[in-house]
Structure 1
Amino acid sequence: MIAKIATGEIEDNKKSNRTKSGKAGAKARAESMTSEERTEIARKAANARWS
């Protein structure tokens, strides 16, 4: 089955439960943080990417 997905014979449109729960967890985390906390996390991530 993996080979058929890789070659495009069939499509794999299933989303894993991890993806769904990860998005839900990220949303809940963002809603529980203040704007300043989110800004600081974003600043640290940007510094890590560009350093």
Structure 2
Amino acid sequence: MPKGPRGEKRPADVIGNAIKVARLAVGDEEETVIDDGKDPAAKALGAKGGKARAKSLSARKRSEIAKKAAAKRWKKK
């Protein structure tokens, strides 16, 4: 069964999915969200950390990191 953006189960067929979305929009059905067990505050800080690191790095250093990552991705095994 396909999963939605937050891990919720969705119907596999188009019509069933459309009916599910309509019921959610009208309020006939509640959407259940599965807790991933992570602290929301920690997730928010983690998202801020990457932006802060990118801001503190020079353009040259960011370029070096990106080239190294691209080389790893495209390296033949």
Alignment TM-score > 0.5, same fold: yes
The higher-RCO structure (CA 8 Å, 6+ apart) is 2
Length, aligned pairs only: 47
Kindly indicate which of the two structures has a greater share of residues assigned to helix: 1
Q: Does 1:27 align with 2:51?
A: yes
TM-score if structure 2 supplies the norm length?
Answer: 0.46
- CA-based RMSD: 3.0
Structure 1 spans left out of the alignment, 5+ residues: none
Deviation of 1:11 after TM superposition, in Å, equals: 3.0
Task: Name the % identity.
Answer: 38
Higher Cα Rg, which structure: 2
Counterpart position of 2:15: none
Structure 2 spans left out of the alignment, 5+ residues: 1-5, 10-30
